[in-house]
Homo-oligomer: A and B are copies of this chain.
Amino acid sequence: MSTKQKRFILPEDEIPTQWYNIQADMPNKPLPPLNPATKQPMKAEDLYPVFSKACCDQEMDTEHAWIDIPEEVRDMYKYYRSTPLVRAYGLEKALGTPAHIYFKNESVSPVGSHKLNSALAQAYYCKQEGVTNITTETGAGQWGAALSYAAKVFGLEAAVYQVKISYNQKPYRRSIMQAYGAQVTPSPSMSTRAGKDVLTKDPNNQGSLGTAISEAIELAMSTPNCKYVLGSVLNHVALHQTVIGLEAEKQMAMAGEYPDIVIACFGGGSNFGGCAFPFMRHNILDGKKTRFIAAEPSSCPKLTRGVFQYDFGDLSGLTPLLPMYTLGHDFMPSNIHAGGLRYHGAGVIVSQLLKDGFMEAVDIPQSETFQAGLLFSKSEGIIPAPESCHAIAATIREAKKCIETGEEKIILFNLSGHGLIDMAAYDQYLSGSLHDYEVDDEEVKKFTKELEQIIK
Check: A426 CB closer than 8 A to any chain B CB: yes
Within 8 A of B (CB), among A143-186: 149, 152-153, 171-172, 175-176, 178-181
* A112:B420 contact, CB within 8 angstroms: yes
Check: A2 CB closer than 8 A to any chain B CB: yes
Smallest CB gap from A6: residue in B: B78
A13 vs B382: C-alpha distance when bound (angstroms): 23
Residues of B within 8 A of A377 (CB): 179-180
Count A-side interface residues using an 8 Å CB cutoff.
Answer: 47
A430 vs B180: C-alpha distance when bound (angstroms): 11
* B79:A6 contact, CB within 8 angstroms: yes
Residues of B within 8 A of A86 (CB): 79
Smallest CB gap from A378: residue in B: B152
A180 vs B171: C-alpha distance when bound (angstroms): 23
* A430:B178 contact, CB within 8 angstroms: yes
Residues of B within 8 A of A374 (CB): 179
Check: A9 CB closer than 8 A to any chain B CB: yes
* B176:A383 contact, CB within 8 angstroms: yes
Residues of B within 8 A of A409 (CB): none
Q: Smallest Cβ distance from A229 to chain B, in angstroms? A: 17
A-B contacts, 27 listed (Cβ < 8 Å): A1-B12, A2-B74, A3-B71, A3-B74, A3-B75, A3-B78, A5-B78, A7-B12, A7-B80, A79-B381, A108-B108, A110-B380, A110-B381, A110-B382, A149-B381, A152-B378, A153-B381, A171-B423, A171-B427, A175-B423, A176-B423, A178-B430, A179-B377, A179-B423, A179-B426, A420-B420, A420-B421
